[in-house]
Amino acid sequence: MRHRSRWAVNTIAAVFCLVWIFPVYWMVNTAFKPRPEVMTATPHFVPYHPTLSNFVNAVTQENFLVNLRNSVVVVALTVLASIVLGIFAAAALSRFRFPGRRTIMVVILAVQMLPGTALLIPMFVMFNSLDLLGTYAALVLAYVATVLPFSIWVMRGFFVAIPAEIEEAAQLDGATTWGVLTRVLFPLVAPGVISTGIFAFIAAWNDYLFAYTFMQDQSRYTLPVWLASFTNPHTGTDFGGQMAASVLFSIPVVVFFLIIQRNLVAGMSAGAVKG
Amino acid sequence: MTVVPVSTELLDDAAGADPAAPPRPPQRSRRRRRRDLAPLWLLSPAGLVLAVVTLAPIGFLLFTAFTDYNQRTLFTGRYSYVGFDQFSELLSDGAFWMSLLRTVLFTAAMVTGSVLIGMGVSHLLTRLGLWWRYTVTVVLIVAWAMPNVASSLVWNWLFQPGYGVVNWGLDRVGVFGDTTDLNWAQDPARAYVAIWLLIVWQAVPFIALTLNAAETQVPAEYKEAARLDGATELAVYRIVTLNHLRPILLLVTILSVIWDYNVFNQIWLISRGGPGDSTSTLGVFTYKTAFVGFHIGQGAAISVVTTLLLFGLTAFYIRRLLRSGEDL
């Protein structure tokens, strides 16, 4: 009986894997097909004449490099800001008791549950009057708003896990508050910093809505908007190029996900990302 | 993309007290009292930034909802206070109610689909050998990791009329007749199906892996005891496993509702809310009002109402998250 049921369960697993990986497979498959093979009456399940020309076309597009630079700058600033600001706030919220602590945590959590438009609309109006639309500052501020609360919450989880005895031992040895933080606590939450950085990277790298609304010019867009701009209802979409671009765009995120995989699966990262 | 905390404590909590968990930090010592100012300077940088980038916009959103802020205002800076006009206009607008109805029904469909399949996959993972478990996990993570802009564009290509592989596949199945040129974005029902498949595809990994983390902590003795009492595998699942999963299942469901209720990118990139307004859920409806018609005051009012409608669930989720946290 065991043998039969094992076989049945494995079959279900195999079918599930095939179905669930298919969209990703189809993206990669299309990316390596020469143009005439992309549009065929009977789809080719492997490229008959594999080529890199779609990738070359994608990265030699007029705006690719400048949009890539925009993405890199904005993402780097967001990651940096959310780690530096987040680690101190997380330390305060985990290692100290003070009035208003609970209120602050509720605000931090509540902000993340807001619909995107609840920040998008007022920020658009504010940045319009401050002449910030189309600048890196506009995007970084929007991303910090969405990422920082989460960073604080995640890093707080790592601080909470450190036994108080370690801190007290350092204090008995004469360490100052600053010394305890930088010499004892911060090194211990290093894995939390890495997870937080990766989550911040993913959130900022993937954002479409804010970049699309705030940047308003092809040369100022970031990569997600660039990716969507392959879609052209009038001249027809270059699907080969778009799929190649999608592969390039997704690779860093997938790699990061696989790196923090153990954390994700064990729930140790205290965090969850939804695409 | 939405990033939302689901803390480890929830998982521990779901499976009952975990004996292997590290001891909680003991009550704070008196020493703490002397450092009263430390949290202030530690918090103030992040606090100031958050006040500027979140609290100020939220205040401004409320303010804007009571004005006639529109396209003209963007250039001239002039607007006037209109009281509750935006709200009363909204509540008498049939398009808003239709959009709300769509959102509720579609959210229910998406959440039901993703949670049920997620539960199935979570249980499947517990029955698999090492190799298959690893393979399914990697597949789930890759699907989960796909940026939603990329996956929406892949979806457009999968469902493309003429050369899309889905139409080709349906054509080969044969029961639907010649489906080669089936246009998914131009038909309300088909657009919903395509978007539903995309959302479920991307939501299942998170749900399955989160539930599985809790499911592996269900004590084996309980299941053994039920089996000894003659329970079938289905009964064991329903009585023992599901009972243990209930708290985490509730949280995952609430989180899915919050996410799916706010979905924007996938709908926008696949159907733009069309054909007509037929897939225009609240996210798309708000965006179109504020940034296509540039009725920003009206858009702000919709956004306020949208947020308030979800307030109960959000509040419940946050309370649960805080309570399952530490000694607050």
pLDDT digits (tens, 9 = 90+) for A31-44: 999 988 988 888 89
Q: Are residues A37 and A128 in the same domain?
A: no
Q: Are residues A86 and A161 in the same domain?
A: yes
Which CATH number belongs to the domain containing residue A66 in this structure? Answer: 1.10.3720.10
> Is B135 an 8 Å CB contact of chain A?
yes
Q: Are residues A46 and A84 in the same domain?
A: no
Q: Which chain A residues are within 8 Å of B282, Cβ to Cβ?
A: 115
> Is B292 an 8 Å CB contact of chain A?
no
Of all residues in chain A, the percent with pLDDT exceeding 90 is 48
Inter-chain contact B132–A81, Cβ cutoff 8 Å? no
Kind and range of the H or E run holding B237: none
Q: Are residues A18 and A77 in the same domain?
A: no
Inter-chain contact B155–A112, Cβ cutoff 8 Å? no
Inter-chain contact B142–A30, Cβ cutoff 8 Å? no
Q: Which chain B residues are within 8 Å of A142, Cβ to Cβ?
A: 53
Q: Are residues A50 and A175 in the same domain?
A: no
Q: Give the CA dihedral A141, A143, A148, A149, nearest 10 degrees.
A: 110
For residue B9, the model assigns a pLDDT of: 40
For residue B233, the model assigns a pLDDT of: 85
Q: Are residues A14 and A98 in the same domain?
A: no
d(CA A91, CA B145): 29
Structural domain includes residue A266? no
Q: How many domains does chain A have?
A: 2
Structural domain includes residue A271? no
Q: Are residues A93 and A224 in the same domain?
A: yes
What CATH number was assigned to the domain covering residues B101-293? 1.10.3720.10
Q: Are residues A41 and A77 in the same domain?
A: no
The SS3 call for residue B206 is helix
A107-111, A144-148, B266-270, range with the lowest pLDDT: A107-111
A25-39, A159-173, A220-234, B3-17, range with the lowest pLDDT: B3-17
**Residue A188's pLDDT band (cuts 50, 70, 90):** confident
For each successive 10 residues of chain B (328 residues), what is the average pLDDT? Answer: 42 40 48 65 90 92 91 83 90 93 96 97 93 94 93 94 90 82 88 96 93 88 88 87 89 90 93 88 94 92 92 84 60
**Closest by CA position to A60, among listed A189, A245, A249:** A245
Q: Are residues A121 and A173 in the same domain?
A: yes
Q: Are residues A81 and A43 in the same domain?
A: no
d(CA A110, CA A102): 12
For residue B201, the model assigns a pLDDT of: 97
The pLDDT of residue A138 is above 90? yes
Interface test with B, best of A114, A139, A144 (most B CBs within 10 A): A114
B145 closest CB neighbour out of A92, A230, A254: A254
Q: Are residues A41 and A67 in the same domain?
A: no
For residue B19, the model assigns a pLDDT of: 41
How confident is the model over A232-254, as a mean pLDDT? 88
Structural domain includes residue A85? yes
A252-270 pLDDT, tens digit per residue, is 999 988 887 765 544 333 3
Q: Which chain A residues are within 8 Å of B100, Cβ to Cβ?
A: none
Of A23 and B240, which is predicted with more confidence? A23
Structural domain includes residue A261? no
Inter-chain contact B60–A177, Cβ cutoff 8 Å? no
**Residue A2's pLDDT band (cuts 50, 70, 90):** low
Inter-chain contact B146–A275, Cβ cutoff 8 Å? yes
Inter-chain contact A267–B46, Cβ cutoff 8 Å? no
| Helix ranges (DSSP H) in A161-238 | 164-172, 177-179, 186-188, 190-206, 209-214, 223-228
| Gap from A236 CA to chain B (nearest CA, Å) | 11
A209-219 CB burial, b ≥16 within 10 A, e <16 = bbbbbbbeeee
A43-54 pLDDT, tens digit per residue, is 899 899 999 999
Q: Around Cβ A264, how many Cβ atoms within 10 Å?
A: 26
d(CA A225, CA A209): 9
Q: Are residues A123 and A204 in the same domain?
A: yes
Provide the domain limits for residue A124: 62-229
